[in-house]
A and B are shown apart, each in its own frame.
Chain A
Amino acid sequence: MDYVYIVPVGSIRDDFWVEPLEHAVMRTFGLKTRYRRFDLDLARAYDARRGQYDSAEILRQLIAALPPDGCRVLGVADVDLFIPILTFVFGEAQLNGAGSVASLHRLHNEYYGLPRDKHLMLERLLKEALHELGHTFGLIHCHDPRCVLRSSTYVEDIDQKSAEFCEACREKVRAGVAACRRQARSAAGKTNRGNAVRSYDVPPIV
């Protein structure tokens, strides 16, 4: 029960970004990954007035579809995400929960009228994915300008930070992952004894 599921959301092509992302997640969190396509109803998340997708709805669907062997799910979308009070978000995650989602939509250089840069886009995606997964392990935004948990409101903010956690956040990630593993072992034990149905604590989606 300690896989991180990486799930494409929308019409995104599963090409060059999957392997580097799996590698980065394994290296950073020490967790194995599985790449799967889930059966999601994106139309439910679409807001016609805004022409954008409600990230909270996507998160709900990702969490609901998470297989029993998964401890975390990371959706990678190509659609523009929003939360009701803000014009857009790069991604969203549950604080101390299972679900996270990041969007490539505003990570493309082309979105800003700049020449295509595949390498830069991949770098941005890795940072956003690690950032959102960091929240699922209970980490809040960090004030260290280099830390990947630094809040980003512009794409330039993403470019300025590194793809690494600062020392303090890394410690918290270690503790979060250890807690996740303990929980997985405990759940597995209960399942072996055949006395428990698998249940998820679903904290508020953030």
Chain B
Amino acid sequence: MKPEDTAILIVDDEAAVRESLCKWFQLDGYRVDTAADAVEALKKMQEQPWDIVFLDIKMPGMDGLELQRRIKQIDKGVVTIMITAFASVDTSIQALKEGAFDYVVKPIDPDDMSHLIRNAIDHRRLVTENLRLRRQIEEISSPDKIIGESQALRQVMERVAAVAETDSTVMIRGESGTGKELVARAIHSMSNRRYSPIITINCGAYTEGLLESELFGHEKGAFTGALYQRRGRLEMADKGTVFLDEIGNIGEKMQMDLLRVIETRQFTRLGGDKLLNVDFRIICATNKDLEKAVRDGTFREDLYYRLNVFSIVLPPLRERSSDIPLIAQHFMQKFAQSMNKNITEFSPEALEMLVKYEWPGNVRELRNVVERAMVTAKGRRIEADDLSFPFSSSSSDFFGDDSLEEVERKHIRNILERTNGNVAQAAQILKISRLTLYNKIEKYQLKKKEP
């Protein structure tokens, strides 16, 4: 990095200190400016970005500590260095605790000053790089957004914001396709755990044995086929969040294991005896009536209360129809980009159809409808004819004169679409075994094409 790429601001009420420091850095080629007090410094902070700010601790009006707090509010990545007289070392330590990179007791040895500025520049570079990478990760980890302006969604987002910064376990309720995972990700990304991973497990997609291995990991030789030691998802989520989707689908033994882990935050890998301590937050989701499951005795009451500390209920799309145009527009733009199509709007008729439809499959279904429409649309907009709704009111004659096999093929395809390709869930809805469903997928060539 060239010296002229580094901007240094010197804030000191003593003109001689301000000027001598300024001249010293100018000779090294840095971009330097000075401010005589906090007001001038804050104005300069607003005008342009600074990499390093030297701050006198004792200044009339606002002192260096308060100024540092205000400066960090404007730019949390800026590197601050406090200038102090020997008498105020305690204050300097306070400044360090509040995020100052270092402090100089004046007068400082020229060599120490050279080292200090080099270290500060390195630190600034790392901070900038770190912030850039974090932004990148945030963008990658949140490819979809929660969209809408309806009152119902606003209430949900208020609850998301309220619980995000706590470590409470959250239970997200809502119909299939309402965006439970998106809400879980939103809570994680707004929490203090956002720079650690969020690990998602669809509990409905695994048999009990497999789910156990997925969650807790296993040691080599723990069971037939366990050729290597494997870390479980809970371990992977250390310092982060575990999102347990379809929590209502876990069996009795897993309910007991999970309860123990939640209470102790300790577990062992399958086949292992070493107790592992892991710091994670649990967010779970279900579309099942868990209260009924508790009453029926299929879901442990103590686990239910452990998981249901804070509850967020997502409204179905039909209850927030004012959001439909916004969401549809969002998906249109997204697919237009990925499909490289110049489609920019819905016809008024198409939009009306979207708003009036019941949306049994919620946002996920809306997404699929828009995606299909994008494929068939010819012009620059999506017309009513481009829309097809698998669960529309006219579905009584949906299959027309199709053969029984064709009806079966279409029905399986629709269910797979509804479950977003989740075979276990689809098999459950169709009330057939997963093996049977796999055979039918094979037979009807319903395998999802690779993107």
Query: What A residues does B28 contact at CB under 8 A?
Result: 140-141, 151
Within 8 A of A (CB), among B17-41: 17, 19-24, 26-29
Q: Is the CB of A84 within 8 A of B20?
A: yes
Residue A56 lies at the interface, judged by CB distance under 8 Å to chain B: yes
| Residue from A85, A154, A204, A206 with most neighbouring chain B CB atoms (10 Å) | A85
Query: Do residues B17 and A84 form an inter-chain contact, with CB atoms below 8 A?
Result: yes
Interface residue B106 (Cβ < 8 Å from any Cβ of A): yes
Q: Which chain B residues lie closer than 8 Å to A82 at the CB level?
A: 107
Q: Does B111 contact A (CB under 8 A)?
A: yes
A124 to chain B, nearest CB (A): 16
The reply to whether the CB of A86 lies closer than 8 angstroms to some CB of chain B is: yes
B54 → A minimal CB distance (Å): 9
Q: Is B110's CB within 8 Å of the partner chain A? A: yes
- The contact of A84 among B14, B111, B113, by CB within 8 Å, is B14
| A50, closest chain B residue (CB) | B107
Give the residue name and chain of the B residue nearest to A152 (CB).
Answer: B110
Residues of B within 8 A of A83 (CB): 20, 23-24
User: Could you say which of A13-21, A67-75, A87-95, A110-118 contacts chain B?
Assistant: A87-95
Q: Does A108 contact B (CB under 8 A)?
A: no
B192 at the interface (CB under 8 A from A): no
A11: CB under 8 A from chain B?
no
The answer to the question of B109 belonging to the interface, with a C-beta cut-off of 8 Å to chain A, is yes
Given A56-B20, A151-B114, A204-B19, residue A87 in contact with residue B27 (CB < 8 A): no
Q: Report chain A residues within 8 Å CB of B24.
A: 83, 85-86, 206
The answer to whether A140 and B108 touch across the interface, beta carbons within 8 angstroms, is no
Cβ–Cβ contact A86 & B108, under 8 A: yes
- Cross-chain contact B27 with A85 (CB below 8 angstroms): no
Please tell me if the beta carbons of A87 and B20 are within 8 angstroms of each other in the complex.
no
Q: Is the CB–CB distance between B113 and A86 below 8 Å?
A: yes
Q: Is the CB of B109 within 8 A of A86?
A: yes
- B309 contacts which chain A residues (CB < 8 A)? none
Task: Let me know if A85 and B17 touch, CB within 8 A.
Answer: yes
Determine if A153 and B111 form an interchain contact, defined as CB atoms under 8 angstroms apart: yes
| A1 within 8 A of partner (CB) | no
By a CB distance below 8 angstroms, the chain A residues around B114 are 151, 153
Count of interface residues, chain A, beta-carbon cutoff 8 Å: 21
A135 CB–B CB distance under 8 Å: yes
Secondary structure of the A contact surface, majority rule: loop
Q: Which residues of chain A have C-beta atoms less than 8 A from B22's C-beta?
A: 204
Option from B3, B21, B111 in Cβ contact (under 8 Å) with A85? B21
Interface residues of B in 97-131 (CB under 8 A from A): 104, 106-111, 113-114
Is A86 a contact of B26 with CB atoms below 8 Å? no
Q: For A85, what are the chain B residues with a Cβ–Cβ distance below 8 Å?
A: 17, 20-21, 24, 83, 104, 106-108, 113
Hey, which chain A residues are within 8 Å of B83, CB to CB?
Answer: 85
Q: How far is the CA of A187 from the CA of B62 in the complex (A)?
A: 48
Contact of B27 among A56, A86, A140 (CB under 8 A): A140
| Of B21, B23, B26, B110, the contact of A87 (CB 8 Å cutoff) | B110
Residue ID in chain B nearest A56 by CB atoms: B20
Query: In the assembly, what is the distance between CA of A85 and CA of B16, in Å?
Result: 8
Q: Tell me, in angstroms, the Cα distance from A82 to B110 when the chains sit together.
A: 10
Instruction: Indicate if the CB atoms of B23 and A204 lie closer than 8 Å.
Output: yes
Question: Which chain A residues numbered 25 to 66 have a C-beta less than 8 Å away from chain B?
Answer: 50, 56
Q: How far is the CA of A61 from the CA of B316 in the complex (A)?
A: 82
A205 at the A/B interface (Cβ < 8 Å)?
yes
How distant is the Cα of A135 from the Cα of B27 in the complex, in angstroms? 8
Looking across the interface, which residue of chain B has its beta carbon closest to that of A141? B28
Q: Are A141 and B109 in contact (CB under 8 A)?
A: no
CA gap between A82 and B108 in the complex, in Å: 11
Complex-state Cα separation, A104 to B82, whole angstroms: 32
Inter-subunit contact B106/A95 (CB<8 Å): no
**Residues from chain B with Cβ under 8 Å of A50 in the complex:** 107
Bound-complex Cα distance A87 to B20 (A): 12
Taking CB as reference atom, which chain A residue is nearest B109? A87
Q: B29 to A206, Cβ gap below 8 A? A: no
Residue of A nearest to B10 (CB): A85
Partner of B108, one of A56, A87, A95, A141: A87
Which residues of chain B are within 8 angstroms of A140 by Cβ–Cβ distance?
3, 26-29
Contact A86 B23 (CB under 8 A): no
Q: Is the CB of A86 within 8 A of B29?
A: no
Chain A residue contacts of B104, Cβ below 8 A:
85
Residues in B with CB closer than 8 Å to A92 are 23
Known: A153-B111, A153-B114. A84 touches B27 (CB 8 A): no
What's the nearest-Cβ distance from chain B to residue A179, in Å?
A: 19
When A84-B20, A84-B106, A204-B23 are in contact, do A154 and B111 touch as well, CB less than 8 Å? Answer: yes
A75 to B24, CA, bound (A): 19
A87 proximity list for chain B (CB < 8 A): 107-110
Residues of A within 8 A of B19 (CB): 56, 204
Report Cα–Cα, A153/B17, bound state, in Å. 19
A86 to B83, CA, bound (A): 12
Name the B residues within 8 Å of A206 (CB-CB).
Answer: 23-24, 26-27
What residues on A are CB-neighbors of B27 within 8 Å?
Answer: 95, 135, 140-141, 151, 206
Question: Would B16 and A153 count as touching, CB distance under 8 A?
Answer: no
Chain B nearest Cβ from A155, distance in angstroms: 11
Q: What is the CA–CA distance of A100 and B114 in the complex, to the nearest angstrom? A: 21
Q: In whole Å, how far is B32's beta carbon from the nearest beta carbon of chain A?
A: 11
In the A-B complex, the 5 residue pairs with the smallest Cβ-Cβ separation, listed nearest first, are A83-B20, A206-B23, A153-B111, A153-B110, A84-B16
11 interchain pairs, CB-CB under 8 A: A83-B23, A85-B20, A86-B108, A86-B109, A87-B107, A88-B110, A95-B23, A140-B26, A141-B29, A151-B27, A153-B114
- Residues of chain A touching chain B, judged by Cβ–Cβ distance below 8 Å, are 50, 56, 82-89, 92, 95, 135, 140-141, 151, 153-154, 204-206
Beyond A85-B83, A87-B109, A95-B26, 10 additional contacts (C-beta under 8 Å) are A84-B16, A84-B20, A85-B20, A87-B107, A87-B108, A87-B110, A140-B26, A140-B27, A140-B28, A206-B27
